Chain A
Amino acid sequence: MYEFTPIGWLKHCIFHPVEGFEDLRWKKQGSMKISAVIVFMLFVAMVADRQLTGFQFNGNYVKIFNVVPLIVQSVVYYITWCIGNWSICTLLEGEGTFRKICIYSAYSLVPYIVCTLISVLLSNFLVQEEAIWLIALYYLGYGWSIVLMIQAMRACHQYSFGKTLISMLLTLAAMLLILFLAILLLSLFQQVYVFFYQIYTEIAYRIRG
């Protein structure tokens, strides 16, 4: 029935929150490349939101710009989400593969990205009295993406609505766990590195005499 280009499929999913992802799944569509681009655009939107928002709306600490937190908040969170969701839903008899989870999650992020970019653009033309437009856009983007995300996960794993919500909450818990372990691992490895580096310097000093 549906014959779209990959971009056409993306549009179809975004504008048909109820059936879009089911169609996507049925037709075995969805592109990993486009997902990667979307996640990159999420990062770009976050940077734009921080740096290019109109001065009168920008409450960020502009003296220092550090890109690492923004990468973490976009790319790393996305990857953790996918991993967490895959781990949880494998246990909860979900039908989605890792690839599908990645693609569906990324597709449902598009409204948020688009709304953020539009509000960044608008914030350069509006004054504070008209901030209501930006707030409306913000909630629109958020709400739409959340609805899409729920639908995407539901279609991906063929869950009921309630089970989808539970699995998503569990995914959030899993994300916390993963990030905690990652930080723990990082600090441990750093200590191991420091240990070996100290041994190296010690030996180096001995050899030099």
Chain B
Amino acid sequence: MLRIKNSFKKILCAGLAAVAAMSMTLNTYAAEPYKSYIYDAWGDPIPSQNAYRIDKAVTGFDMGLDRLSDPADPLFIGENASARLANAKDMYFDPELKQFWVADTDNNRILRLDEELKLVGAYTGASDGKNFAAPSGIYVKRSVIDNKLYIYIADYENSRVVKASVESNTELELVMEYTRPETDLYTVETFNPSKVVADKAENVYAVCTSVNQGAVQFTKTGKFQGYFGANRVEVTAAVIAQKLWRKFASNEQISGMQRNVPVEYANFDIDDGGFIYTVTEAANATTDAVKKLNPAGYNIWNNSTGDTYVFGDMASEYDATANQTYSTRLTDICISDNGLINVLDFATGRVFQYDRNAELLCIFGTKNSKNDQRGSFSSPNAVEAYNNNIYVLDGAKNDITIYSETTFGSLMHEAIELYDQGRYSEAKPIWENVLARDGGYPMAYMGLGKAALNEGEYKKALDYFETAYAQKSYDRAFKYARNEFIEEYFNVIVTVLAVLIVWLIVLSKLHKRNIFIIKGKLGKLFQKQKEGR
């Protein structure tokens, strides 16, 4: 009897557990392997909603890279062509053809993928017959001059930048080779271009390893034109101390000292307006971490002119599971077609998204700690944006992770788009919707505040700006609010002032005649003083 009872209990328990498990699988979803956060006006991290969720991770096999080793396929490269990416270092999205170009560095080839990340082309060399060797940077642009599609490849090991026109899915016609400039201005022995872009006039900019004067700039015809947009030396205590020592030291001593040179920048991107954005991959760089350079090489986001542009994480972070301290090392930057700026942090595997004015919008992605999860990265090398998705290329996991927008993200982007155009009132209902999803989202309060300011509701604007802790905007709203207040109460203020003045005059007249209206201690206080004199 007892046995039967027990087994019945067991069955009941198992049944309940199964039901519970079922209902759990129904209710749970694959959460992101990180907690979403954002920084407030104080630079403190605060929790936020996910603006992006992980859609999928695409490996070489998913892209169809096995076609490369299939002799029957038109894209056939060789019998043992790898069906995996290998330490791919760069990725470029061509918005015109809607195609991705991947520099598959260790496989010495360039891959061309369509918008679904399916393989459509592969190149192992240009028409000169020389194979690419560790191509680590890629840029593709249709020329406005002869309307041909040109590809620029930073051919790292071959010490050259290749400019070639794209003829077919497997052929590149070599147009120009940019090699080490034979000039005294170029002092470095090597020429190892790691990243490359070209502007509208087809000037070529190449970031080269161990060149810290900036990007090496070539004209269309291959002439060395100089350096572009060097970083400055970050001012630390050691640098200041050395500067002082140099004043006293002899020439021999100075020659023995370490030189303070700026950190070379890691990567760059160019936007439609011809502005070049650079990132510097030095740990916790505060000087010139991200720059927006105009064609003259002047940094628009310059903190030394009184602005406070901050990029990446505010402070180093200790990860207990990996027993490691991470500090921001920005490795790639991408300007999407809607003007949003995505900055990829190599150390923490995070993508920081900013709007045109470098206001932080959202942070997503994470570093692999112990377990290899979707959406976490080992060696994130490149970030691209297309169609409201963010693509992150991982050079160690050899895949491309696709992030797609959440509802919160799409609302926020819609609102930001209107906000950046100055259409604050139109953005208002969207910001309210955003706030309903994330009540602590700082930009929403800024947006609502500006809308209220535009509509003349200054009190409301003051409230919003105070919540967003935007002192400058608050100050502007306060000026209007004050004017409004003075206009409204002008009569009262003048009357009160007049009465006060008259009262004081009368009082002093009376005091002179030794008549005191105020009795008691206060009156006596005046009296004694008068007598004393």
Chain A residues within CB distance 8 Å of chain B: 2-5, 7-8, 54-56, 59, 61, 63, 125, 127-129
Report Cα–Cα, A2/B533, bound state, in Å.
7
Per CB-CB distance, the 7 closest pairs between chain A and chain B, nearest first, are: A3-B532, A56-B475, A128-B475, A127-B479, A8-B529, A127-B475, A5-B525
Interface residues of B, CB < 8 Å — how many? 16
Also in contact, A4 and B528, with CB within 8 A (given A55-B466, A55-B474): yes
| Besides A8-B528, A127-B478, 19 other A-B contacts (C-beta < 8 A) | A2-B532, A3-B528, A4-B528, A4-B529, A5-B525, A54-B478, A55-B466, A55-B474, A56-B471, A56-B475, A56-B478, A59-B471, A61-B42, A63-B42, A63-B44, A125-B482, A127-B475, A128-B472, A128-B475
B330 CB to nearest A CB, Å: 27
A179 CB to nearest B CB, Å: 26
B202 CB to nearest A CB, Å: 46
Q: Which residues of A contact B531 (CB under 8 A)?
A: 3
Contact B42 A127, beta carbon cutoff 8 Å = no
Q: Which residues of B contact A59 (CB under 8 A)?
A: 471
Report Cα–Cα, A196/B531, bound state, in Å.
65
Also in contact, A8 and B525, with CB within 8 A (given A3-B532, A127-B478, A127-B479): yes
Report Cα–Cα, A48/B525, bound state, in Å.
29
Q: Which residues of A contact B478 (CB under 8 A)?
A: 54-56, 127
Report Cα–Cα, A129/B476, bound state, in Å.
10
Q: Which residues of A contact B474 (CB under 8 A)?
A: 55-56
Q: Which residues of B contact A63 (CB under 8 A)?
A: 42, 44
Closest to B471 in A: A56
Report Cα–Cα, A125/B528, bound state, in Å.
37
Q: Which residues of A contact B42 (CB under 8 A)?
A: 61, 63
Closest to B522 in A: A7
Q: Which residues of A contact B479 (CB under 8 A)?
A: 127, 129
Q: Which residues of A contact B532 (CB under 8 A)?
A: 2-4, 8
Report Cα–Cα, A128/B478, bound state, in Å.
10
Contact B475 A5, beta carbon cutoff 8 Å = no
Q: Which residues of B contact A3 (CB under 8 A)?
A: 528, 531-532
- A sample of 7 inter-chain contacts (CB < 8 A) reads A2-B532, A4-B529, A8-B532, A54-B478, A55-B462, A56-B474, A56-B478
A42 CB to nearest B CB, Å: 23
B44 CB to nearest A CB, Å: 8
CB within 8 Å of A: which of B317-373?
Answer: none
Partner pick for B471 among A2, A4, A55, CB 8 A cutoff: A55
A15 CB to nearest B CB, Å: 12
Q: Which residues of B contact A129 (CB under 8 A)?
A: 479
Report Cα–Cα, A19/B149, bound state, in Å.
88
